[in-house]
Amino acid sequence: MNHPCARPATTRMGIAVSAAVLAFAVAPAQVAHSAGPALEASQVAVPATTAASRVSRSLAEYTVPSVELVREDGKVVRFSDELADTRPVVLNFIYTTCNGICPMLSQTFSFLQSKLGAQRDSVHLVSVSIDPEQDTPQRLTEYAKQFHAGPEWHHYTGTLAASVLVQRSFGVYRGDKMSHTPVTLLRPAPGMPWVRFDGYATADELIQELGDRIANP
Amino acid sequence: MRILLALLPLAAAPLSVVADSSASSPGEGIYRRGLLPSGRPLRGERASATAVEGPLAACVNCHRRSGLGASEGRILIPPITARYLFGVRARNAGEPGMPGMETPGLERPRFTEATLARAIREGVGSDGRRFDELMPHYALDDSSMAVLIAYLRQLSSDRVPGVSDERIEFATIITPDSDPIQRKGMLEVLDTFFANKNVFFREKSPPLQSSHNIHYRIVRKWKLHVWQLAGSPESWEQQLHQRLRAEPVFAVISGLGGKTWAPVHRFCEAESLPCLFPNVDLPVVAEDDFYPVYFSKGVLLEAQLLAGRLAQKARAAGLHHVVQVYRSGDIGAAAAHELRAGLAAQGIEIVDRPLAAAAKSQTLSEAVNNVQASDALILWMRPKDLQALPPSPPPGALVFASGLMGGLERAPLPTNWRASTDVTYPFDLPDDRRLRMDFPLRWFKIRQIEMVDERVQTDTFVACGILAEVLAPMLDNFVRDHLLERLETMLSARTRNGYYPRLGLGPGQRFASKGGYLVHFADVQGPKVVADGEWIVP
C-alpha cells in the first residue's frame, strides 16, 4: 500500500473527517528479531546484515530508455549509451535534498565502492535524480562528493520529462518525489534481467549478487 | 504495509532534566548539527549500513526541525517532542491524548527517561519492539543524553502566537515603494479569500474531537492583518518587530515588494515567522534561511536564463560584448550583477550602463544606441522606460529584455524592437497555461474582483490556496516550523498553480519554481509569444 498524505476534505463543511487518519491503519512493525516483552534488549543479537524479510528481491526485464540526461560533470548524454556497458550496473534513484531514504541508498553505494577496493572500477554505479529541476549538475557534484563517489559512479539529471521517463522505465515512478521508496537495481551483464531490491539492500547483499562478475585486478 | 518507527524510549539516565530552551544550545547542536557538547561529532550506527557522523547523523534529518517527524514513501517518521514521548501536554496543543495529527500508534506506552535513553542507544521502543533500520543507534554518554533529552522536552512546546481556539492570525506585508495598482489588486484577492474562508463559520467551533481515531478538524476563522510599511528600508525591520508585538500572527502570507525585500526577509527569519510567497521580483537568496519562501528567484532567475543563452552564443557565434542598461536603485541593478556573475570566465566583456533614477529619455537613448552589431544588449527595464526607447534598436545587436520587469507579453516595446528582442519568461506560456488559469479567473469573476494585474492577483490567489491546503491536515499542531515542513512535502503534488507549470520544494528548498523560457513576439503587435527552445532550468 502506497499512500502519501491523503487530501483532506475542503473546508466548505464545518467539520471534516481527516481521511488520512483512516488510511494510516496501525500496522505491526516488521521486526527482524523480536525482543519480546523482556526488557533485556541488550541481550538480543543485532543482526550483522538486514534480515531477508526487510528486502525483497525479484527479477525484471527493463528497457533502458534512450533519453537525454545531463551528467554531474555537465555532459549531455544518452542514458542508453551510458549503460551500454559490459560491466555490471547498479542503479538507484535519489534527490539531493532528501533526508532519510537517499542518504541510506547513497551510503550503501559508498560502502559498496569502498568494499570493492581495487576492483572498484569493474562495477558501474548509477544514480538518477528524481528532482531534476532542483538537482543541477553542480548540486549533484556536491552530493556525490559527500559520498566519496569515484569515477565509476555517475549522477544524472535532466528535464523533468526525462527523469520521469527513466523512473517509469524501471518501475519506480510514484508521481511525486516525496512518495519514493528505497529501490536498488542491478544488471549483472548486458542482456540479462535486472535484479530488483525493494528495501535497503546492503553492500554485502549487492556484492553477493555481483558474485564473480567483479573483475579481478 | 506500513513500517512503523517506534518512538525513542528513555534509558536509565540521571534524574529529570531542566528543559533546554536557549537558541543555539548544546541540545540544539546535537539535534540539528550532529555535534556533541564535547565538540566531537555525533555518531550513529546502523546494522545494515555504515555509521553516520556529524550532520548526516543529526536527528533533524528525519525527525525534522519541529520534531514532529515526516512521511517519506511508506516510511512514517514519528514525532519526538515531549508531548509524544512523555505525554506532556504542550501549551500549543489540544487535549492530552489527542495526537492532533495523522500519526498512528500513539497509544503506545509512554517513555520514561530511562526507556528513552535505551531506545536512542539500542533502537528498542517503549513497547520492546525494534525500530526500523533507518533509525541509527547512538552511543551517547549520560551527560550528552541528558542534554539531548532536555532539548526534546522543550522542542515545539511553546505557545504559538497568532493561534487561538477561534482564530488564526496572519499578516501580509506591503512595502511603501510597491506599485499601488498591484497593492489594490492583491488586497482585494486576500480580503475576498479570507472572507470566503470564514463564510461558513457561524459560532465558536467545538474542541477537536476524536472517536475511534477519526479526527474531526476544527475550523478556525482566519484573520488578516495588513502591515503597510512606511519610510526608508532601514526603518522597516523595526516597524515590523513593533507590529508583530502588537499583533501576533502565526505566519505571513503573500505581500508586495518594490525595490527591496531584504528587511522583510531578515525580519521573518529573525522572528522564526513563515513568510510565504510574497509578490516580489527580487527575493533574497539565502540558502540556509528557513522561514521565507518564494515563488521563484525572480529577476535573478531571469539573469541566470540569460547567462546560459549568452554563454551558448559566445561559444557558437562569437559573442564578445554585452551591454546592460538599468535604473540605479531598482531591481535591475541586482539582476545585472547576477548576470555578470553568471558570465564570469566566459570570455565576454560586460559593460553596465546604469541610469540615474531621474535620468531623462535622452540618456536612455544614448545608453542603448551605443551598441555594436553582434553585441548583446540587455534591458532591465520597467514598462515606462521600454516605452521611451528610441524607435529602432541598434542594428545587428542581440536584444534581451526582462519579462518580469517589462510586463511579459504585454511589454510595451516599440514596434521595431519587437522583432529582434528576446524576452525572459519565467512562467508557462499564455497558451499553455490557459486551462490551468481557468480556475483562478473564474474565481475572480464569480467574486467580482477587478482584474488590475493578472499575474500578481493570480500569484496571490495561488499563495492563499497553498496556505489553506498546507494548514488543513495540521489539525491542531500549529507549529511554525511544521508548517514549512509540510509545505516542503505537499507542494509538488499541487496542479492549480496559475502561471507556473510546476511548483515544488524539498527539505531546505525555498524557491518553488526553478526555470523559464526565452520568448519572442510572434507578431508586430499583440501579446502572442513564441518560445525559443525548451523550458530552461539554469
B489 neighbourhood in chain A, CB within 8 Å: 4-5, 178
| Interface contact A95, partner B, CB < 8 A | yes
At A37 the pLDDT is 36
Report the CATH number that the domain containing residue B365 is assigned in CATH.
3.40.50.2300
CA distance B160 to chain A (A): 22
**B74 vs A2: CB contact, 8 Å cut-off?**
yes
pLDDT band at residue A2, thresholds of 50, 70 and 90? very low
At A32 the pLDDT is 33
Average pLDDT, chain A: 80
At B99 the pLDDT is 40
Q: Which residues partner with B211 through β-bridges?
A: B214
| Interface contact A36, partner B, CB < 8 A | yes
**A29 vs B50: CB contact, 8 Å cut-off?**
no
Cell representation of residue B4: 512503523
Query: In this model, does residue B473 exceed pLDDT 90?
Result: no
The answer to whether the Cα torsion of A85, A86, A91, A96 is positive or negative is negative
Which of A178, A181, A184 would best serve as a mutation to test chain B binding (most B beta carbons within 10 A)?
A178
**Is B270 inside any structural domain?**
yes
User: Of residues A178 and B238, which shows the higher confidence score?
Assistant: B238
Residue with cell 536584444: B399
B522 and B379 in one domain?
yes
Terminal CA-CA length for chain B: 40
A138 neighbourhood in chain B, CB within 8 Å: none
Average pLDDT, chain B: 89
pLDDT band at residue B100, thresholds of 50, 70 and 90? very low
Candidates B473, B508, B509; nearest CB to A8: B473
The CA distance from B186 to B254, in Å, is 9
B286 and B184 in one domain?
yes
Residues 123-152 of A with CB under 8 A from B: 131-134, 136, 146
At B420 the pLDDT is 92
The edge-to-edge listing of strands for the beta sheet with B43-46 is B49-53, B43-46, B137-138
**A49 vs B72: CB contact, 8 Å cut-off?**
no
B328 and B219 in one domain?
no
The CA distance from A91 to A108, in Å, is 11
Which of A24, A113, A142 would best serve as a mutation to test chain B binding (most B beta carbons within 10 A)?
A24
Query: In this model, does residue B251 exceed pLDDT 70?
Result: yes
**A133 vs B515: CB contact, 8 Å cut-off?**
yes
pLDDT band at residue A180, thresholds of 50, 70 and 90? very high
- Please state the three-class secondary structure of chain A as a single string: CCCCCCCCCCCCCCCCECHHHHHCCCCCCCCCCCCCCCCCHHHCCCCCCCCHHHCEEEEECCCCCCCEEEECCCCEEEHHHHCCCCCCEEEEEECCCCCCHHHHHHHHHHHHHHHHHHHHHHCEEEEEECCCCCCCHHHHHHHHHHCCCCCCEEEEECCHHHHHHHHHHCCCCCCCHHHCCCEEEEECCCCCCEEEEECCCCHHHHHHHHHHHCCCC
pLDDT band at residue B476, thresholds of 50, 70 and 90? confident
**Is B396 inside any structural domain?**
yes
Cell representation of residue B279: 509578490
Query: In this model, does residue A98 exceed pLDDT 50?
Result: yes
- Run of H or E residues at B471: helix B454-471
| Interface contact A7, partner B, CB < 8 A | yes
B215 neighbourhood in chain A, CB within 8 Å: 17-18, 21
Q: Render pLDDT for B346-389 as a digit per residue (tens, 0 to 9).
A: 889 999 999 998 888 889 999 999 899 989 999 999 999 999 99
Ranges of each domain in chain A:
57-213
**Is B504 inside any structural domain?**
no
Candidates B4, B47, B124; nearest CB to A41: B124
Candidates A5, A35, A175; nearest CB to B71: A5
Angle at B495 between CA B489 and CA B498, to 5 degrees: 115
B444 and B371 in one domain?
no
Query: In this model, does residue A23 exceed pLDDT 80?
Result: no
At A14 the pLDDT is 40
CATH (one of 3.40.30.10, 3.40.50.720, 3.60.20.10, 3.40.640.10) for A57-213: 3.40.30.10
Cell representation of residue B385: 522606460
A158 neighbourhood in chain B, CB within 8 Å: none
A104 neighbourhood in chain B, CB within 8 Å: 46, 49, 134
CA distance A194 to chain B (A): 22
CA distance B36 to chain A (A): 20
- For the CA atoms of B277, B282, B288, B294, what is the dihedral angle to 10 degrees? 20
| Interface contact A103, partner B, CB < 8 A | yes
Residues 64-83 of A with CB under 8 A from B: none
**Is B462 inside any structural domain?**
yes
The CA distance from B422 to B431, in Å, is 18
At B94 the pLDDT is 44
Q: Render pLDDT for B264-309 as a digit per residue (tens, 0 to 9).
A: 999 999 999 999 999 999 999 998 999 999 999 999 999 999 999 9
Candidates B118, B200, B214; nearest CB to A41: B118
CA distance A175 to chain B (A): 8
Contact call for residues B234 and B240 (beta carbons, < 8 A): no
At B207 the pLDDT is 55
- Predicted TM-score (pTM) of the model is 0.87
% of chain B beyond a pLDDT of 70 = 88
B336 and B415 in one domain?
yes
Q: Render pLDDT for B404-460 as a digit per residue (tens, 0 to 9).
A: 999 999 999 999 999 999 999 999 999 999 999 999 999 999 999 999 999 999 999
Query: In this model, does residue A184 exceed pLDDT 80?
Result: yes
| Interface contact A45, partner B, CB < 8 A | no
Candidates B48, B75, B130; nearest CB to A100: B75
Nearest residue of B to residue A161, measured between CA atoms? B535
Output phi, psi for A3, to 5 deg. Answer: -155, 105
| Interface contact A43, partner B, CB < 8 A | no
The CA distance from B191 to A144, in Å, is 47
**Is B52 inside any structural domain?**
yes
A133 neighbourhood in chain B, CB within 8 Å: 502, 504, 514-515, 537
**A21 vs B70: CB contact, 8 Å cut-off?**
no
Nearest residue of B to residue A19, measured between CA atoms? B214
Q: How far is CA B225 from CA A133, B191, B274, B477, in A?
A: 35, 10, 15, 22
In sequence order, the 6+-apart residues with CB closer than 8 A to the CB of B397 are: B371, B372, B373, B374, B375, B376, B377, B420
B204 and B340 in one domain?
no
% of chain A beyond a pLDDT of 90 = 70
CA distance A217 to chain B (A): 25
A35 neighbourhood in chain B, CB within 8 Å: 124, 128-130
| Interface contact A39, partner B, CB < 8 A | yes
The CA distance from B378 to A95, in Å, is 35
At B210 the pLDDT is 52
**B507 vs A22: CB contact, 8 Å cut-off?**
no
Helix (H, G, I), strand (E, B) or coil at B494: coil
User: Of residues A191 and B5, which shows the higher confidence score?
Assistant: A191
Q: How far is CA A94 from CA A99, A162, B173, in A?
A: 10, 15, 37
A177 neighbourhood in chain B, CB within 8 Å: 492, 504, 506
Residue A41: CB atoms within 10 Å:
22
Query: In this model, does residue A51 exceed pLDDT 90?
Result: no
% of chain B beyond a pLDDT of 90 = 75
**A5 vs B489: CB contact, 8 Å cut-off?**
yes
Which of A18, A96, A106, A181 would best serve as a mutation to test chain B binding (most B beta carbons within 10 A)?
A18
Calculate the CA B157 to chain-centre distance. 24
**Is B192 inside any structural domain?**
yes
List of long-range contacts for A110-113, beta carbons under 8 Å, 24+ apart: A110/A147, A110/A148, A110/A149, A110/B50, A111/A202, A111/A203, A111/B49, A111/B50, A112/A203, A112/A206, A112/A207, A113/A148, A113/A149, A113/A150, A113/A152, A113/A153
**A131 vs B201: CB contact, 8 Å cut-off?**
no
Query: In this model, does residue A139 exceed pLDDT 60?
Result: yes
B18 and B150 in one domain?
yes
A49 neighbourhood in chain B, CB within 8 Å: 47-48
pLDDT band at residue A17, thresholds of 50, 70 and 90? very low
At A46 the pLDDT is 30
Query: In this model, does residue B16 exceed pLDDT 50?
Result: no
% of chain A beyond a pLDDT of 70 = 74
Cell representation of residue B264: 522583510
Least confident of B1-15, B36-50, B72-86, B425-439: B1-15
At B201 the pLDDT is 63
At B217 the pLDDT is 55
Q: Render pLDDT for B170-195 as a digit per residue (tens, 0 to 9).
A: 999 999 999 999 999 999 999 999 99
**Is B485 inside any structural domain?**
yes
- Residue in B33, B13, B56 with CA at minimum distance from that of residue B147: B13
B486 and B385 in one domain?
no
Q: Render pLDDT for B199-241 as a digit per residue (tens, 0 to 9).
A: 876 655 555 555 454 445 567 899 999 999 999 999 999 999 9
Q: How far is CA A164 from CA A92, B22, B292, B436, B464, in A?
A: 14, 44, 29, 21, 29
Nearest residue of B to residue A4, measured between CA atoms? B73
**Is B161 inside any structural domain?**
no
Pairing state between β B517-521 and B210-211: unpaired
Candidates B102, B493, B509; nearest CB to A21: B102
The domain total for chain B is 3
Contact call for residues B323 and B377 (beta carbons, < 8 A): yes
Least confident of A77-81, A144-148, B76-80, B508-512: B76-80
Range of the structural domain that residue B64 is part of: 3-154
| Interface contact A115, partner B, CB < 8 A | no
B449 and B306 in one domain?
no
